[in-house]
Amino acid sequence: MKRRNQYAALSLCASLLSVSGCSMMMGEEEVAAQAPQRPAMNVIDITAADRAPSKPVESTNDTQSQGMDAYGAIGQPPLYSSVQGAYKGRPLTKHIGDYVKNMAQDLIANMEYVNNKTPIGVTHFALLDTDLQKTDLLGRQMAESFVHELHKFRVPVIDFKATEYIRITDDGDFVLSRDYLELSSSLSIEYVLTGTMTKHQGGVLVNARILGMESRAVVATAQMLVPFYVVDALIPSDGSQQNGMRDGVKLSRG
């Protein structure tokens, strides 16, 4: 009888141990299933990218538009260079003519007395910190662009640099001249468009105005800041860069 009781007790202990062992094994399996699996050595965990927060994919047009500022400069590479190596830089979608167009609209908006029967002449823009007798490539090109814009508004423009004949040379056929002896001294110009330029930290500040030739009265004004990269995009005919630039590199004297 005593042996039967001992055997029954041993059987009960074994049953309890087996049940507890099974529960422990089940608990370990559940914990192992919930725990993240570590990748083996030299194995890339590709699921990590799936668990990362997804980012919206931007279209090519959106990317290009975000890389372009309000002035039309593309803020991302590639860089382009001319055949002669005169200029290296990022391509621009706007040029000096676009800024002159906006200034011409401002002039027309506040213009007085000038109409389709009052001839107007356009001069080069002078550097403000000089004796007003000096200009540069920007001042010359702005005058050429203003001739175009004023003509589009049907304002009569007289080109006082035009001669009365065509000069035929080995370098080409020309009708324009800078020699005052070859130009007419009497022209029916009632108003003149002129202006000044000031170098600014972000570019060149341009002040344009229309004056009466006899009264010297200001009858129209406009002002705009032309960004430096638009100004530097103008290349002199000798291929050199202005403002100490050569082949896209700013030169400084040591």
What's the pLDDT at 149?
Answer: 96
Q: Distance between CA atoms of 91 and 75, rounded to whole angstroms?
A: 9
- 3-state SS assignment for residue 104: helix
| CATH superfamily entry for domain 95-233 | ABC-type transport auxiliary lipoprotein component (3.40.50.10610)
Task: Classify the C-alpha dihedral 112-116-119-120 as positive or negative.
Answer: positive
pTM: 0.62
Q: Distance between CA atoms of 224 and 198, rounded to whole angstroms?
A: 11
What's the pLDDT at 89?
Answer: 61
Among residues 189, 192, 193, 165, the alpha carbon closest in space to that of 179 is found at 165
What's the pLDDT at 209?
Answer: 97
What's the pLDDT at 63?
Answer: 45
Q: What are the CB-based long-range contacts (under 8 Å, 24+) for 187-191?
A: 187/119, 187/121, 187/158, 187/160, 188/119, 188/158, 189/119, 189/120, 189/121, 189/158, 189/160, 189/213, 190/118, 190/119, 190/120, 190/214, 191/113, 191/114, 191/118, 191/119, 191/120, 191/121, 191/219
- Rounded (to 5) percent helix, strand, coil in the chain: 35, 25, 45
Residues of the chain with pLDDT under 70: 1-91, 239-254
What's the pLDDT at 180?
Answer: 87
